[in-house]
Amino acid sequence: MESKFYEEDKLLIFKITDEIDDCSVQKIRRKADYEMERYMPKKVIFDFSCVTFMDSAGIGMIIGRYKFANMIGAQLEVSNLTQSVKRIFEMSGILKLIPVASLGQAQSSHA
């Protein structure tokens, strides 16, 4: 997973580059929480454009990061959901809670 912090906007972008399953969420969780604490952003965006696989472990991971972001006063959004990722998020109903941000490819490629 790659991350990039935009100081002027207090925006932290995580670009997930692994397949998301029970094994990889442990690494993603650790890194995301560490970076959020370090930068104290106002907004956190998870970019899913490079995610080729996700199972239900991704739901728990995003809900957990959503709670963590709330705790530090940041707003969490998800972006560039692929068809299969979107389907799983929609089944769980978390898109009613977490907004989908439109993140340009240019911006996400810098992340």
Partner 1 sequence: MKDVFENEMKLEFISRSSNEAFARLTVAAFAAQLDPTIEELADIKTAVSEAVTNCIIHGYENKQGIVKIVGHLKENEIILEISDTGKGIENVDIAREPLYTTKPNLERSGMGFTIMESFMDTMEIESIVGLGTKVTMSKKIKPNRKEEEEDFQMITTSH
Element (H, E) at 77: strand 75-79
Reduce the DSSP state of residue 79 to 3 states and report it.
strand
33 in contact with partner 1 (CB under 8 A): no
- Rounded CA separation 75/70 (Å): 6
Task: Name the pairing type of β-strands 11-15 and 2-6.
Answer: antiparallel
Name which of 40 and 91 has its Cβ closer to partner 1: 91
> Residue with structure tokens 């972001």?
69
57 in contact with partner 1 (CB under 8 A): yes
Say how many residues touch partner 1, by CB under 8 A: 21
22 in contact with partner 1 (CB under 8 A): yes
Answer for which of 88, 95, 100, 107 binds partner 1 (CB under 8 A) is: 88
Task: List interacting residues with partner 1 (CB under 8 A).
Answer: 19, 21-23, 25, 29, 53-57, 59-61, 63-64, 83-84, 88, 91-92
